[in-house]
């Protein structure tokens, strides 16, 4: 177990980097989904280096601060509702021995989070009038978008696997040599 000063320092650095990426999502609106994904990868580093519970604590701090200080609330919301906690949760899910069950749980978590995100965005941020403007396409457009987002989720999950392996094999040994 690492010392408390190491955990606090690493948590603070990762939280600051996450907040910078969340802040950049407001500056570069085209990256409003990519930057919360990157912040989620940083959460994975805390889970690997310190502990999963410390990563959830850092996630909570970043979530609250991103709602308060970032410009793009939609980007902060997608971080809070999925990209922030999923890289940590998937480490627990990885312990399940059956691959098919793991995939089903991951997909269920993703769909629950994304549907909740959709409803929060539409009804709390007041975008329900936009849904009515879609007319007939709006009924099917939601299902098409959910299907496409599931494809993107599979790619994101594969990317998280690759980033986890790269971090453990390439970067973690570099940090160990510095001490």
pLDDT in tens, 22-62: 999 888 888 888 999 999 999 999 999 888 999 999 999 99
DSSP 8-state code for residue 29: G
pTM of this prediction? 0.86
Cβ atoms of residues 35 and 154 within 8 Å: no
Cβ atoms of residues 9 and 58 within 8 Å: no
- Which pLDDT belongs to residue 165? 92
- Which pLDDT belongs to residue 82? 95
Residue 139 pLDDT > 90: no
pLDDT in tens, 141-153: 777 888 899 999 9
pLDDT more than 70, % of the chain: 88
């Amino acid at each position: 177990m690492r010392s408390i000063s190491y955990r606090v320092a690493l948590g603070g650095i990762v939280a600051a980097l996450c907040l910078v990426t969340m802040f950049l999502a407001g500056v570069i609106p085209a990256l409003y989904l990519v930057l919360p994904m990157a912040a989620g990868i940083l959460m994975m580093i805390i889970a690997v280096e310190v502990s999963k519970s410390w990563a959830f604590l850092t996630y909570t701090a970043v979530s609250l601060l991103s709602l308060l200080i970032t410009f793009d609330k939609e980007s902060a919301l997608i971080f809070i509702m999925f990209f922030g906690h999923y890289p940590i949760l998937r480490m627990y899910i990885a312990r399940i021995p059956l691959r098919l069950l793991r995939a089903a749980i991951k997909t269920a978590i993703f769909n629950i989070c994304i549907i909740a995100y959709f409803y929060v965005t539409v009804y709390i941020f007041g975008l329900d009038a936009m849904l009515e403007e879609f007319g007939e396409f709006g009924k099917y457009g939601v299902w098409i978008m959910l299907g496409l987002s599931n494809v993107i989720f599979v790619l994101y999950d594969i990317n998280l696997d690759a980033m986890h392996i790269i971090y453990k094999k390439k970067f973690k040994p570099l940090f160990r040599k510095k001490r």
